[in-house]
């Protein structure tokens, strides 16, 4: 699928030697000498991905099964239930009209290779051993059974897609819980006050049931350098430690370890955990599909320096994260690490876009005007960011509890166009590459 031609787009010779990631003839990503990251289509034409998630007959933003709902009823009445083609054609025509070029996570497979780019969500966390404890929601990367399950799952998901010219790449997971200590954004220091804090990843792994390989890996990690001496470990962490059970008791009481010695070990353990996760997921994906990009694990927020240090080449081609609150212009936090970024779950139907401003407005705006004004500014800033290669609107159809015109979908539950969003998006999407070029 060729991208529309736009004057003054960089040519292949404008990209830094060695910056291109991916295989020629498929969607790639690269950085120009001006420092801007771009996706490149199979014809080496640069573009920005402008996508929408959860495109399906149900519109659910957390899966693709045909669960009954109001939107499914409307789609069946409008397009019939005999064949998917009428609904697929309607969606793609609408997306093109709104200057969108990608369907994203949780899109059902009947939209694949139909003349529009797409991304695939693998969700390795849902196969093999994993644990959900406190703020941690992760696969047990130390368990060979998880790697075997991930390999089998990658073969099932990736092998059928390896020759697709419209697939951008794979998200490995959705919003894992990395359980990292909170770090002050201004100082980069972990605050001494533990109020509201939860135990972090190392402490959680030390407190798992012994059936988890991560439990044994964590204890080996902290005791091996100390010749197995618990008392020495306690001294380094500034706690009295006679038995392993004491760590579990602290974790169960939501008492986080925060000493300098513990945080040093936590940082190194988190990096090892992340290194295993990103290296294993990349290796099994590329074993069955060497052509397409690895798009990371869809961070819900900034996961912290320990995790980001391993979310890099060669295991990750593009970092994906959800912009925090309304600070979209700061979402390219990874540009300093020289990583291209794809924003997920973007929407201006959010309380931060609706609230009253701190300073009086020259003219009292309606809530809708305020939302759209802030949304326009936010998306323009996204397109201008040199590290951002695209965005994914939160969902195709409103949620069951949404109240238009402040819903999150591009269509309503009766399949009517959500013009309060699409009219502005059509304009901004059509100018995305021009905004990026002017930002140089």
pLDDT for 216-233, tens place per residue?
999 999 999 999 999 999
Cis amide linkage into residue 314, ω under 30° from 0: yes
Number of other CB atoms surrounding residue 107 within 10 Å:
24
Question: What is the sign, positive or negative, of the torsion defined by CA atoms of 312, 316, 322, 326?
Answer: positive
| Whether pLDDT at 1 is above 80 | no
Mean local confidence (pLDDT), 196-214 = 95
- The set of long-range contacts for 88-95, using a CB threshold of 8 Å and a minimum separation of 24, is 88/114, 91/55, 91/396, 92/116, 94/410, 94/411, 94/417, 95/52
Region for 412 from its dihedrals, namely left if φ exceeds 0, alpha if ψ lies in -120 to 50, beta otherwise: beta
- Res. 338 pLDDT band, cuts 50 70 90: confident
Find the length of the chain.
440
Mean local confidence (pLDDT), 390-419 = 96
pLDDT for the residue numbered 18: 92
- The CATH T-level fold of domain 50-181+271-438 is TIM Barrel (3.20.20)
Closest Cα partner for 297 from 394, 180, 172, 391? 172
Q: In degrees, to the nearest 5, what angle opens at C-alpha 197 toward C-alphas 194 and 200?
A: 110
Q: In degrees, to the nearest 5, what angle opens at C-alpha 426 toward C-alphas 108 and 173?
A: 35
User: Is the pLDDT higher at 187 or at 279?
Assistant: 279
Mean local confidence (pLDDT), 11-25 = 95
Closest Cα partner for 191 from 256, 142, 251, 237? 256
Of 25-29, 208-212, 333-337, the least confident: 333-337
pLDDT for the residue numbered 425: 98
pLDDT for the residue numbered 191: 55
Mean local confidence (pLDDT), 289-304 = 94
pLDDT for the residue numbered 350: 84
- Res. 335 pLDDT band, cuts 50 70 90: very low
| Whether pLDDT at 145 is above 80 | yes
- The set of long-range contacts for 11-16, using a CB threshold of 8 Å and a minimum separation of 24, is 11/44, 12/40, 12/44
pLDDT for the residue numbered 63: 76
| Whether pLDDT at 249 is above 90 | yes
- Sorted by sequence, the CB contacts under 8 Å of residue 434 that are 6+ apart come out as 6
- Res. 353 pLDDT band, cuts 50 70 90: confident
CATH 3.20.20.80 boundaries in the chain? 50-181+271-438
Mean local confidence (pLDDT), 308-316 = 95
With beta carbons less than 8 A apart as the criterion, state whether 170 and 285 touch: yes
- Res. 195 pLDDT band, cuts 50 70 90: low
Encoded tokens for 178 = 């990395």
Phi, psi for 341 (deg, rounded to 5): -130, 135
pLDDT for the residue numbered 33: 95
């Amino acid at each position: 699928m060729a991208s529309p031609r736009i004057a003054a787009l960089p040519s292949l010779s404008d990209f830094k030697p060695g910056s291109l990631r991916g295989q020629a003839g498929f969607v790639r990503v690269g950085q120009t000498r001006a420092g801007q990251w771009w996706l490149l289509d199979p014809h080496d034409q640069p573009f920005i991905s402008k996508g929408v998630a959860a495109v399906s007959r149900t519109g659910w933003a957390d899966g693709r099964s045909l669960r009954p709902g109001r939107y499914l009823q409307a789609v069946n009445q409008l397009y019939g239930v005999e064949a998917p083609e009428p609904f697929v054609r309607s969606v793609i025509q609408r997306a093109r009209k709104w200057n969108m070029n990608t369907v994203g996570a949780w899109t059902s497979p009947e939209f694949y290779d139909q003349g529009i780019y797409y991304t695939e969500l693998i969700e390795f966390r849902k196969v093999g051993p994993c644990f959900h404890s406190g703020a941690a929601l992760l696969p047990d990367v130390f368990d060979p059974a998880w790697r075997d399950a991930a390999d089998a799952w990658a073969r099932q998901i990736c092998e059928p897609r390896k020759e697709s010219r419209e697939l951008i790449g794979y998200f490995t997971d959705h919003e894992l819980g990395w359980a990292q200590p909170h770090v002050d954004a201004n100082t980069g220091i972990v605050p001494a006050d533990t109020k509201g804090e939860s135990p972090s990843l190392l402490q959680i792994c030390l407190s798992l049931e012994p059936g988890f390989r991560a439990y044994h890996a964590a204890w080996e990690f902290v005791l091996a350098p100390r010749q197995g001496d618990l008392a020495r470990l306690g001294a380094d962490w500034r706690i009295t430690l006679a038995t392993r059970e004491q760590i579990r008791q602290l974790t169960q009481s939501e008492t986080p370890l925060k000493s300098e010695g513990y945080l040093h070990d936590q940082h190194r353990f988190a990096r090892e955990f992340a290194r295993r996760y990103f290296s294993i997921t990349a290796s099994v994906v590329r074993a069955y599909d060497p052509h397409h990009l690895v798009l990371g694990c869809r961070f819900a927020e900034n996961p912290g320096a320990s995790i980001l240090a391993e979310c890099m080449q060669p295991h990750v081609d593009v970092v994906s994260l959800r912009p925090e609150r309304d600070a979209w212009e700061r979402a390219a936090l990874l540009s300093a690490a020289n990583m291209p970024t794809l924003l997920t779950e973007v929407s201006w139907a959010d309380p931060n876009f609706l609230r009253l401003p701190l300073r009086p407005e020259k003219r009292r705006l309606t809530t809708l005007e305020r939302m759209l004004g802030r949304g326009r500014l936010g998306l323009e800033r996204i397109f201008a960011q040199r590290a951002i290669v695209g965005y994914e609107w939160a969902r195709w159809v409103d949620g069951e509890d949404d109240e238009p015109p402040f819903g999150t979908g591009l269509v309503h539950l009766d399949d009517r166009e959500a013009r309060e969003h699409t009219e502005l998006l059509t304009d901004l999407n059509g100018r995305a590459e021009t905004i990026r070029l002017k930002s140089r």
